[in-house]
Amino acid sequence: MGTLYIVPTPIGNLEDITLRALRILKSVMLIAAEDTRTSGVLLKHYEIETPLTSYHEHNKHSKLDELLEALEIGDVALISDAGTPGISDPGYELVCAAIAQGHRIEPLPGANAALVALVGSGLPTDSFIYLGFLPKKASARRQLLQSLQGERRTLVAYESPNRLCDTLDDIQAVLGQRAVCVARELTKLYEEFQRGDVKTVLAHYRDNPPKGEITLVIGGAPEPAIWDEAQVRAALQQRLNAGEGLSQAAKAIAAESGWKKKAVYNLGLEQS
C-alpha cells in the first residue's frame, strides 16, 4: 500500500518549498502534476528526475484508476501548478478515492496564497472564511456577497485582475465601506499589498489597472452598535403601538440593537 503525499509548491518564489517536500518529490515513484510542463521547470531547478504524469481539472476522473493502481505499487506525490493541491486546485477527488482504498495520506504544510494574503493583510486572522474563486457572473457574485452581509469573519477570495474593479464595486454596493486588502503577486518581484477602505482601493486600481495574480481579503461585518435603553424603549413603543406582539417585537429589536431578547422583553413588560 503506497502513500499519497500532498505536496505544496511555491506560489512565485522558487525558494518557498520545504526540505521535506524536495525529499519526498525525489523519493516517490510517481509525481501527479496539474501541468507537467509548469512543474517540469520547478523539478528541473531542483534536479528532481522522478517520473511525472498529468492530473488536472479535465482528466481528474479518468486518471483516478491509473493513480490508484500506482499507489498499489508505490508512493505518489500530488502537486499543482502553484501552492497547495486541493485548494482551488485538483486534489480533492484523488484524496477521497485514495482514502476509500485504504491508502495513507500525508499532506505537507507549505505555500498557499490565501493564507499568505490573510496574514499580510492586517485584517483579523483569528477567524476567517475561504471563498475560493468568486463567481465570474456579476449577478452570482452579488448574490454571494449578499449572503455574507452579516458575516463577522474575514473573507478571503481569489480573483482575476480583469474582474478586480467590478468585484470591488460590488463589495462597495453590497457590503458597504469595508476594509479590504488586495494582495497581488505574492512572493514575487512586484509583490504588492493595497490596504484601505473599498472606495480608496477601488480608486487606486481604476487608475492603475492590475496585472498578475490576486488574492482579495475583505474585513468582516462590523459589530452592531449597542443601543442605549432609551432607544430600545422607543423602538418597543413603536412596534407595540403598531400592534406587534411583545415576543415578536423583542426578537426583532434584539437582532438590531445588540440587546438580548429576554432583556428587551422584560423592558416591554414594564412598558405595557
Q: Where are the beta strands (DSSP E) in the chain?
A: 3-6, 30-33, 52-54, 76-79, 104-107, 128-133, 154-159, 179-184, 192-197, 214-218
DSSP classification of residue 221: P
Q: Which is nearer to ligand SAM, 106 or 191 (CB)?
A: 191
Quickly tell me which residue has 488586495 as its cell: 182
Q: Which is nearer to ligand SAM, 182 or 232 (CB)?
A: 182
Residue 262, CB-side half-sphere exposure with 13 Å CA sphere: 0
Task: Give the CA radius of gyration of the chain.
Answer: 25
Contacts with ligand SAM, residue ranges (CB under 6 A): 11-12, 80, 82-84, 87-89, 112-114, 158-159, 183-188, 213-215
Cβ 66 to ligand SAM shortest distance, Å: 22
Alpha carbon 138 to its chain's center: 19
Cβ 186 to ligand SAM shortest distance, Å: 3
Cβ 214 to ligand SAM shortest distance, Å: 5
Residue with the shortest CB distance to ligand SAM: 83
| Whole-angstrom distance, CA of residue 24 vs CA of residue 244 | 67
Q: Which is nearer to ligand SAM, 12 or 219 (CB)?
A: 12
User: What is the layout of strands, in order, in the sheet containing 128-133?
Assistant: 128-133, 154-159, 214-218, 179-184, 192-197
Q: Which is nearer to ligand SAM, 6 or 67 (CB)?
A: 6
Cβ 26 to ligand SAM shortest distance, Å: 22
Cβ 259 to ligand SAM shortest distance, Å: 41
Q: Which is nearer to ligand SAM, 87 or 180 (CB)?
A: 87
